[in-house]
C-alpha cells in the first residue's frame, strides 16, 4: 500500500475510533444507567446494557461500525414508552396507532423509516410495567433523542406520582 494511502487509512481509523467513543458517551448521557456490557459485545463492536426494570427498562444497545444503534429495551412502563415515542415522533406515526400511544390499547405498533433504513417496534404490554421498545439500525443521534425522551418521560412520571402523593395538582 502506498505510504500516503496507509497514512490516510490510519487517520480514518483514528477518526472512526473517536466517533465510536463519542457515540457511546452520547448514548450514556441520554439514558442514565447505560453502561458497557459485562459480556463480550453482542453483535457489534460496542454493547451497552441497562438493568432498571420498571424504571428505564432492561436491555441493551449495540453500536455498529456505521454508527447505527440497535436499541432493545423491555420491562419499561407503558406510560414512559408512550410518552417518549409520542414526544419524538408525534401522534399517529406508527402503524396501528391513530391516536397518541398513551391512549392506545396494549399491542404492537410498527414503523419502517425508508430514509434511514431504521425499523421501529413498540409494544405496550397488558401489564403497565411491561412495555418494549425495539429499534434497529437507527443513526446514533436519533437513538440519543429517543433515549433522552425516555429519561425525560421517566422524570415526568415520577413528578406526577410525587405530586399525587403530596396532594398537589398534576
So where are the chain's domains? 3-166
Q: Is the pTM of this model over 0.85?
A: yes
Contact 65, 74 (CB under 8 A): no
pLDDT score of 98: 86
Contact 118, 137 (CB under 8 A): yes
Please tell me whether residue 119 adopts helix, strand or coil conformation.
strand
| pLDDT level of residue 170 (50, 70, 90 thresholds) | low
Mean per-residue pLDDT of the chain? 91
78-91 pLDDT, tens per residue?
999 999 999 999 88
Cα-only R_g, the chain: 18
160 vs 141, more confident = 141
pLDDT score of 167: 74
Amino acid at each position: 500500500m502506498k505510504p500516503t494511502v496507509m497514512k490516510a487509512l490510519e487517520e480514518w481509523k483514528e477518526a472512526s475510533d473517536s466517533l465510536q467513543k463519542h457515540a457511546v458517551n452520547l448514548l450514556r448521557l441520554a439514558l442514565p444507567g447505560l453502561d458497557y456490557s459485562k459480556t463480550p459485545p453482542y453483535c457489534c463492536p460496542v454493547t451497552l446494557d441497562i438493568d432498571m426494570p420498571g424504571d428505564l427498562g432492561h436491555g441493551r444497545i449495540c453500536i455498529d461500525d456505521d454508527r447505527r444503534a440497535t436499541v432493545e429495551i423491555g420491562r419499561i412502563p407503558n406510560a414512559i414508552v408512550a410518552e417518549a415515542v409520542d414526544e419524538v415522533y408525534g401522534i399517529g406515526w406508527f402503524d396501528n396507532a391513530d391516536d397518541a400511544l398513551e391512549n392506545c390499547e396494549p399491542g404492537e405498533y410498527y414503523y419502517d423509516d425508508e430514509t434511514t433504513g431504521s425499523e421501529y417496534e413498540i409494544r405496550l404490554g397488558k401489564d403497565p410495567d411491561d412495555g418494549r421498545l425495539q429499534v434497529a439500525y437507527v443513526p446514533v443521534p436519533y437513538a440519543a433523542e429517543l433515549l433522552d425522551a425516555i429519561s425525560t418521560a421517566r422524570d415526568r412520571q415520577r413528578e406526577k406520582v410525587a405530586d399525587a402523593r403530596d396532594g398537589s395538582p398534576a
